[in-house]
Amino acid sequence: MTNRFFSRVAILFFLLSACNSGENKNQRAPKSHIVEIAQMKFNPAELTVQKGDTIVFVNHDIVPHDITEEPGKTWSSSLLPANQSWSIVADSTVNYFCSIHVVMKGKIIVQ
């Protein structure tokens, strides 16, 4: 009787493991993406990511910049000096710009 019990427990454990591994196959680990700030531009200016991915902005210019949501300014980075970075986790498609240098614009597309 003990062997039969352990066999059933082993089968149940196997089936539960198989169900859980199927769920994990469909899930993707979040990725990190880099947007470089150089020569008064965001590069790439348009970036397509998955929800939950992290976008890291790195300032390679000699002047400070910020990253501000457009049009409502619902979020903004702090002032980003040269050779510093700032990151955000993507949750929806958004346009952004540098509020100091308003000609600098970019877009994050979340799929």
- Torsion, Cα of 75, 46, 99, 93 (10° steps): -20
What pTM was estimated for this model as a whole? Answer: 0.76
Tokens of 47: 């970036």
Catalogue the long-range contacts made by 4-11 (C-beta closer than 8 Å, 24 or more residues apart).
Answer: none
Is 16 domain-assigned?
no
pLDDT of residue 28: 87
Q: What pLDDT digit, counting tens, does each position of 3-50 carry?
A: 555 556 556 555 555 555 555 566 889 999 999 999 999 999 999 999
List residues bridging with 42 in a β-sheet: 37
pLDDT of residue 27: 81
Q: What pLDDT digit, counting tens, does each position of 60-77 carry?
A: 999 999 999 999 999 999
Is 15 domain-assigned?
no
Is 7 domain-assigned?
no
Structural domain count of the chain: 1
Give me the mean pLDDT over the 93-107 stretch: 97
